[in-house]
Structure 1
Amino acid sequence: MEEIRDSRLRDIARAEYHYFSGHAEEAAREAELYLSHSDLTLRLSACLIYIFANLSLGQIQQAQYTLMEVRNTLASADGRMPPQLRAAAVFIVATAAVLLHLPLPEGADTLQEQIRFLPPGLRMFALYVQAHYTYLQGDYGRSLGIVETAFAMQTEVFPIPSIYLHLVAVMDYMSLKQPELAQAHLLAGWKLAQPDDLIEALGEHHGLLGGMLEAVLKKDWPEDFKRIIAITYRFSAGWRRVHNPVTGDHVADNLTTTEFATAMLAVRGWTNQEIAAHLGVSPNTVKQHISSTLLKLGIKQRKDLKRYMLR
């Protein structure tokens, strides 16, 4: 970052780094300085950071207001707006919708239409967004195809979008009940994250990873695991405050991360024995987690867990 000559771009890069390394407060403070900047490129970059940093900070109104400003910018754009900037605005709107599991805005340009105008690193992240959206549609094979395409087309390594792509592959493989392949992608993403401590993505995706963080990172990297789980609690609290009211869903907010991971596997059809083997605990421990989850949610049957879980 210090080698970036333009001080404004250096500030944005620093805000991005602080966000993706799990320091939302610093990221929001730095991004806020550019929310009204006359340069639309800087403003859009700052907006994306500011939206998600404020979700982690529980400052939902700031996040929602900033997202609305981006949507207004896109809606008021005319033919004079450079295609690269239009594509960036579409990317931000689509990213926010997909990561929050909200419907995509109707009548707007699609990310697929605009992706060719994005620079290489952002194009990689846009492919992650498309893969995540396809995962939410339940088409796990096609989602994996997008991930493979993204890695095949990259001409250099972009650590942050690559981490996100590996994580959506974990989500796909866990949904396909292929934990060995899921673990390979998690470890590949973790290898990219470690040098610069880019742990935010792992915390954001915890609930969708099917207990893979508990199975792989908790034993060998216990301190990192604790920091990732702290990010999970912060981010997911803000996520639910936006997602649940808009969609009418009831994604649980009173479970521990271990209870949530266990319940996610249970609703995907894993038996207690399979969950126990995956998490490295006893079947009785899994039974206790499920019983505790049912009690907290005020339900009696395992099949009723689904309405409180992520897709």
Structure 2
Amino acid sequence: MTKNTLTLAALAAGIAFAAPAVASDDYPSRSVEVIHHYGPGGGTDRFVRAVAEPFAEITGQQMVPVSIKGGGGIPAIAQWQRRPDDGYTLMAISPAQVISHVQGRIDMADFLPLARVQFDQALIWVPADSPFQTVQDMLDAAKANPGSVSVALSGAGGFDEVAVSLFGLEADVNFTTVPFSSSEMVSNTVGGQVDAMFEEFGPARGLWESGDLRPLVLFSETRLPELPDVPTAVEMGYDVTLGRWRAFAMQGGDDMDQAKHLYGVIEQAVEADSYKAFEAQSALQYRSELIGLDDFKAFIDTEIETYTSVMKQLGYID
């Protein structure tokens, strides 16, 4: 049988040679799963659910978060990569994946960057009765007695540790970083077992409003409107603007037409009233800017360069 005969036979049988979902008017036609490696109810899970609500209203289909914990996120990625390249399984990504890439544990080339939705700003916080009235007080103490100033982190070896260590590197001081779970981090900081903690404004806002914590410095380009008296590290001459971002990625083999369509849906979803309310409640509206596809890939490439440089200086990688 000739190639032309095969082609005619296939057409007669209704077989399409294009990718299954190219220019499909009904995509998505079923639920879209979003795999992540954090626990239910955590920041990433809440992020996915906040987008999922308007996503369902726009598409008529569910966006379902799937938590696969443990192993530094590698089991979640392995499960995601075993799924077919059909546009129905996304990955919720963050600086954690960039760090794993820099460490050689995963390859970001396997990801099709879809949409960066959130870009948070973190601060150094101290207990209300801390002797450090300013961040300069804290830096002076760390310089006078290297390692004496302890900073609580949520988890070890991740974004928090890189950001705090970069601040120490920029300021030429050594902090002692102490990893905790999120709840332990707060209780140990408020209780004075550690000198300070690193946290975004949203999760710490209630403790600031209650007077339990005071912010000393913000890692961002500009000051927060709600904290006009808190300086940025940049103002002090320290180039520390790393922020925790949350985003969606598709598989590298997924169809670009699907990606463009899905990005358009997410673009609508994050403008929905329900998502805007979540954004304001979580204090995510100040730096978050939706970027997608090529722009998001360029952002990730820059993040890889930044984290590679920082982690080399810190001795985390060769």
TM-score band w.r.t. shorter chain: under 0.3
Structure with greater proportional strand content: 2
Structure with greater proportional helix content: 1
Which has the higher relative contact order, 1 or 2, with Cα contacts under 8 A spaced 6 or more apart? Answer: 2
TM-score between both structures, scaled by the size of structure 2? 0.27
TM-score between both structures, scaled by the size of structure 1? 0.28
Q: From the CA coordinates, give the structure whose radius of gyration is larger.
A: 2
